[in-house]
Structures are given as C-alpha cells and as structure tokens.
Amino acid sequence: MARSDATPPPGPGRPGPGGCTTSEGGAARPPATPHRSGRSGVVGTIGAVGGVVGGLIGGGSGVLFVPALDRFTAMSRARVHGTSTIANIGVCVAGAAGYAAGGGALDLRVGAGLIVGATIGGVIGPRLLARASENLLRVLLIAILVLTAAKLAVDAFAPALLSDALVPDRLIADPWFLHSATTVVGLVIGAWAGAMGLGGGLLAVPAMVLLFGTELHVAAGTSLLMFIPNSIVGTVVHLRQGTASWRWGRLLAITAAPGTLAGVALGLSLDAVVLGLVFATFAAVMAVRETVQLLRRRRHSSS
C-alpha cells in the first residue's frame, strides 16, 4: 500500500516537490494543502460544521466539505473529493451511534442490500473519479443537488403527490426482489459516494423515501449506517491512488464526530416536514453556489 499521504505526480493543478502545485504553464503555485497551524483551525471548523450537516440529513456532509476544501485549499478537485471520503468515516460512525443512542430506528430490510451494494460501489467510485474532469464533477454535483432539493420540496408542499413509494408494496414485501433491488441501488449510490466523497445521504435518503417508502428520520439513520463500510473502502482506494490527503481527511473526521452528534440530536427533534425543508434548502443553496463557481471557472478559462 502506498504511503497514506502520497500525492499524484506533478502536473497541472497537482502537487509538485515541496507541496507546490504547477499551473498549465509549469509555474509554481502556492502549496496544494494548507500547512500552517492557522489553517488547521479552519479545516477543523469545516469538520465540525460539516458534521452537524451530516448528522442532520443522514450523511451528505461532503456537500459542505467539498466546496469548503475547494475554497480554502489549492488541492485538485479529485483530491478534494477523496479527502472528503476520509472525513465521512467520522460522520457515519458517530451518526449511526448517535441515532442508536437517541432512539432512532433503522430500516435493515431496506438497508441490508444497500450496505452490500454501497460497499462494492466504494471500490468502483474512486477509480471512476480519477478519470473524470473537474467540470464534469461540478456538473454532476449540481444535478444531484437540484434533484434532491426539488424532490424534498414537493414532499413538503404537496405530500399527496408522492404519498406512496414508487415500488409497489407487494414487491417490497418480497425478500428476493427487495434485496436484489436495494443491492443494485446501493451499488449505484455507493459508486457515486465513493467517487464524490459526499457521504451518500444526498442520494440514499431520497432513494429510500421515494422508492421504498422509508420514513425520513429512519432513512437518515439507515443512510449513516450504510456508508460506514463504503467510506472505509473508498478511503483505502483513494489513498492508494493518491486522490486524497490523509492529514486533512483525518482532521476532518475527528472534528466532525462531535458536530455529527449535535446534528443527530437536532434531526431527531425536528418534524419530518421541517427536516425535509431544511434538507431541501441546504441542497438548493449548495447548488447555486456550485453553479456560480462553475460559471466563473468557464469564464476565466475562456478569457
């Protein structure tokens, strides 16, 4: 296994000797990761706030980790996503434990297949990430944020439109169908989460609610449990291929844990409709932020 702090070879937007990155023309840029102690405080704060988000919405802390690391470090986008995957270990472990201690229920009938599929996806996703462009990563993130916000807003304002699960009850009651379907869904979500470092909650929670009729609070707790093995497997792959920073990912994971417990407590105390609106609003804000960043990036590259 490669060193945990291994970095890709020097190249455009990648760290070179001494931790510096190179531009398209080969000129030295600032260090690719923050090295001063003051930056440790910034990253620690990002971890704590992201933990609250993850505990509140059942994972998905990466929607805060990724933009924040992109803003406060000079790491490549792929390396930012990989580092977020490491951080999600702390979020998922603390979150699942918090839901159990707080009396939150888990849907293991749906969750078992999702866990198996997500673990396999955790191996596939990071390998796909290494081949994706930064613009593509941003577009994919924006798409899922918009879809998630729209779905939860419809649930809150017009629950009668989506009051029943899309999968018929007779199929959900069939163990063979349920375990097969959830494994496939888990594989897709796990590959996405392993690649993007988002923790999976942005996809897993809506999928459980929309497809299988899982109650929102139960889906949040099940999602956190589901992505413990996914995050661990994804971390190993990211570190081996050099698309993650162990130093900053570890700090995020440690500082995210107490924030996650606070987020779980808040999530369990909120009505499902209110929780859905909070989740939808957060996803919409992040989608706007990522869209602005993408447009600025394209404008800069064309000038």
Enumerate the H helices of 102-215 as residue ranges. 108-129, 134-157, 169-172, 175-196, 201-212
Query: For residues 239 and 34, what is the distance between their CA atoms, to the nearest angstrom?
Result: 18
The pLDDT of residue 163 is: 53
Q: Kindly state the average pLDDT of the residues 75-97.
A: 90
The pLDDT of residue 257 is: 93
The pLDDT of residue 258 is: 93
Q: What per-residue string of b and e applies to 65-80 under the rule 16 or more CB within 10 Å gives b?
A: bbbbbbebbbbbbbbb
- On the 0-12 / 13-18 / 19+ scale of CB atoms within 10 A, 160 is exposed
33 — pLDDT class (breaks 50, 70, 90): very low
Query: For residues 43 and 59, what is the distance between their CA atoms, to the nearest angstrom?
Result: 18
- For the full predicted model, state whether its pTM sits above 0.75: no
% of the chain with per-residue pLDDT over 70: 81
Please give the mean pLDDT across all residues of the chain: 78
Query: For residues 273 and 265, what is the distance between their CA atoms, to the nearest angstrom?
Result: 16
Query: For residues 153 and 204, what is the distance between their CA atoms, to the nearest angstrom?
Result: 17
% of the chain with per-residue pLDDT over 90: 21
Q: Kindly state the average pLDDT of the residues 23-48.
A: 62
Q: What per-residue string of b and e applies to 233-264 under the rule 16 or more CB within 10 Å gives b?
A: bbbbbbbebbbbbbbbbbbbbbbbbbbbbbbb
Q: Which residue has tokens 């490491």?
A: 86
β-partners of residue 20 are 31
Helix (H) or strand (E) holding 70: helix 62-72
Select the more confidently predicted residue: 41 or 206: 41
Query: For residues 145 and 40, what is the distance between their CA atoms, to the nearest angstrom?
Result: 28
The set of residues, in sequence order, having a beta carbon less than 8 Å from that of 267 and lying 6+ positions away, is 55, 56, 57, 58, 217, 220, 275
